[in-house]
Amino acid sequence: MNILVIGTGYVGATTAILLSELGHQVTGLDMEEEKIKRLQQGVLTFYEPGLEPLLQKQLQLENLMFTTDSVQAIQEHDVIFICVGTPSLPDGSTDLSAVRKVSARIGQLMASHKLIVIKSTVPPGTQQRVKRWIKDALTYKTSFDVVSNPEFLREGSAVHDAFHPDRIIIGGDSEESRSQVERLYGDMNCPVVHTNPETAEMIKYASNAFLATKISYMNELARLCDEVDVSVQTVAEGMGYDPRIGKSFLQAGIGYGGSCFPKDVKSLIALGNEHYTELGILKRVVKVNDSQYRYLLKKVKRQLGLLRGKRIALLGLAFKPGTDDLREAPSLAILSELMENGALLKVHDPVAKLPRELQFPSIKAFPSIEETLLGAHAIILCTEWPQYVSGAWEDWRPLVKSPYVFDGRNALDAKKLKALGYHYEGIGVR
Ligand SMILES: NC(=O)c1ccc[n+]([C@@H]2O[C@H](COP(=O)([O-])OP(=O)(O)OC[C@H]3O[C@@H](n4cnc5c(N)ncnc54)[C@H](O)[C@@H]3O)[C@@H](O)[C@H]2O)c1
């Protein structure tokens, strides 16, 4: 099948590569020329383990190409995936302007039947709006189908998730259009749920909001564990054996971030408000998350006192390991607050770069962990990259000025660090 993928960011590039690996002839279209140039050269515009070799392979096999020419691209492809961004508006609702723009462009240019697949995360009811936006822009009297097919991949394990999805959700108005989308994936050996478009759209939001809820629940509980001298890690272990609860997403820390959870939870709350349905649990989820990094900073201030002039080493910028994505990363809020308090910040991340808005004389990024730790009054772990978790803490001990370690991910071996002479504090860790 000839497939066009519009939007070649994180999801679009991964989807285009996956579909070409599955034997389709795929074109990726984006409005950012620089991004397209790099993709044409086989270079990803984000860090994702294992994805770039597949991009290069598919380019070489000529199963995959990239363009900025929307006219030719839309006219020549019968199946079009929409993978553009859907960020938050100031009131928390979803900014659908990119989806709207792309829909209108498709309507304006298409001269034969198209199957349009919405992969962007969009609120229930968007498939209906996309149909209307396309219809309103039609130049030629042409039929089309719009199917909702939300994406569930995780940054850092996108290759695995793309090829081994837990499930494929397909929401369409007709059995025929849903089956056409299912056939595109070949035999993925996973459950495929056929439903109406609104339900498919809701499944994506409900899933992300539920995972965010698990995280905030454990984070709030961890604060209480600190008070009553209980280890939240042992609590999580004990809970996780219950198959109804499961082991994942029970690790307390400085809160969730990234391009999905923060905006998707807020979007669901906004949708509830729009329909006079209060989603009180999710409001609390956001509140706990927004204040969780401050909870760790309180511990830092309690130990270090005045932060002015103190050198603080921050390990990890990315919102989670395996990615260079800094969208809504708690590390950024921590850096800003420490900077406002006059601290001198030394930063390290294996792949993520210090964003432009945080390039101040008091924040300096270092290429090695050792240089970052040298002379530090305290270390804050923000991302549980393996190089930190199983790092040479015994060799690092003499480098620091004072041995305070604040583990924002409860990922380090507290006992080992204490034995090495560090003053270790996690969140709800004994
Ligand atoms: N990143 C993830 O882990 C993830 C996972 C699942 C779902 N999603 C959802 O997928 C969607 C895309 O997310 P992302 O992280 O890939 O975003 P992104 O910002 O990395 O990529 C979006 C791309 O769309 C392009 N674009 C915007 N308007 C365009 C237009 N009019 N024509 C052509 N290209 C256009 C942008 O230039 C950009 O390259 C969002 O709805 C997101 O919520 C993301």
Give the confidence band of 269 by pLDDT, cuts at 50, 70, 90. Answer: very high
Q: Going by C-beta distance under 8 Å and a sequence separation of 6 or more, which residues neighbour residue 216? A: 255, 256, 284, 285, 286, 288, 289, 292
Best mutation site among 11, 17, 100 for ligand 1, i.e. most ligand atoms within 8 A of its Cβ? 11
Q: Which of 83, 225, 260, 382 is catalytic?
A: 260
What is the Å distance from ligand 1's center to 166 Cα? 21
Give the confidence band of 320 by pLDDT, cuts at 50, 70, 90. Answer: very high
Contact 106, 74 (CB under 8 A): yes
Q: What percent of the chain has pLDDT over 70?
A: 100
What is the Å distance from ligand 1's center to 304 Cα? 41
Q: Global pTM?
A: 0.96
| Ligand 1 atom closest to the CA of 263, numbered from 1 | 43
Best mutation site among 10, 33, 82, 161 for ligand 1, i.e. most ligand atoms within 8 A of its Cβ? 10
Give the confidence band of 361 by pLDDT, cuts at 50, 70, 90. Answer: very high
Handedness of CA 57, 59, 64, 70 (dihedral sign): positive
* Predicted local distance difference test score (pLDDT) of residue 258: 96
- 87-137 tens-digit pLDDT: 999 999 999 999 999 999 999 999 999 999 999 999 999 999 999 999 999
What's the mean pLDDT in 68-72? 96
Chain length of the chain: 430
Burial class (CB in 10 A: 0-12, 13-18, 19+), 192: middle
Give the confidence band of 281 by pLDDT, cuts at 50, 70, 90. Answer: very high
What is the Å distance from ligand 1's center to 7 Cα? 6
Evaluate: CB of 6 within 6 angstroms of ligand 1.
Answer: yes
